[in-house]
């Protein structure tokens, strides 16, 4: 499979990149800075801007899937990235897009404490993510939006779960970046949640 990763130099993106290469996939990483990336015949590194449609198109030529593991966002980063992906898809035909988001966006699923905390501390970030997701849902792309709970640097856990609709999520709900990366790679391979919003936690 040919995978384009946006955010490959971040912690979750690095986990995804490593696992994708280990899985025998061919990966293109669109990055601002190339330092620290592994050397591999399966890896093509393109220096560019994830909010630039031309750069995204260049990185996603022939891709089976584009995966974004970009971080918190804010200042329009996520909305502008999704706009670039949508525009690039019209040029390249790369329709499958998996977007990592945060469970803080799903306000109706949050416990009262974390809802108040996220509203005060992460308002701009959440607003940016919400805008990007609305754009994606109306784009016609074959998307999956992955809402990870609180991230940590623990080992990969095979028992990642999708919380039931009635479960309220708070500070106790955590997931390792390695687990998120493994789940997203499996979704890229299997396509079990196309067109869906999915919350994941351990």
**120 phi-psi bin (left φ>0, alpha ψ -120 to 50, beta other):** alpha
In this prediction the pTM is: 0.93
Domains and CATH numbers, the chain: 2-200 (3.40.50.720)
Chain centroid offset of residue 158 CA = 19
- Give per-residue pLDDT as tens, 99-125: 999 888 877 777 665 665 555 445 688
Residue 42 to residue 49: CA distance in whole angstroms: 21
pLDDT of 2-37, one tens digit each? 999 999 999 999 999 999 999 999 999 999 999 889
Q: 54 pairs with which residues across the strands?
A: none
């Amino acid at each position: 499979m040919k995978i384009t990763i946006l955010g490959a130099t971040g912690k979750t993106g690095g986990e995804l990149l490593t696992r994708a290469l280990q899985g025998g996939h061919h990966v293109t990483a669109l990055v601002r800075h190339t330092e620290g990336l592994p050397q591999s015949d399966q890896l093509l590194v393109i220096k560019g801007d994830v909010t630039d449609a031309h750069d995204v198109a260049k990185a996603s030529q022939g891709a089976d899937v584009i995966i974004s593991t970009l971080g918190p966002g804010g200042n329009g980063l996520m909305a502008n990235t999704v706009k670039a992906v949508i525009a690039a898809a019209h040029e390249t035909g790369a329709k499958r897009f998996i977007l990592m988001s945060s469970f803080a966006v799903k306000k109706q699923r949050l416990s009262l404490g974390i809802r108040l905390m996220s509203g005060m501390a992460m308002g701009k970030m959440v607003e940016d993510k919400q805008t990007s997701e609305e754009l994606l849902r109306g784009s016609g792309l074959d998307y999956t939006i992955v809402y990870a709970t609180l991230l940590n640097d623990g080992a990969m856990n095979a028992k990642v779960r999708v919380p039931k609709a009635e479960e309220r999520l708070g500070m106790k709900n955590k997931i390792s970046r390695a687990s998120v990366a493994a789940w997203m790679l499996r979704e890229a391979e299997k396509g079990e949640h196309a067109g869906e919003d999915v919350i994941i936690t351990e």
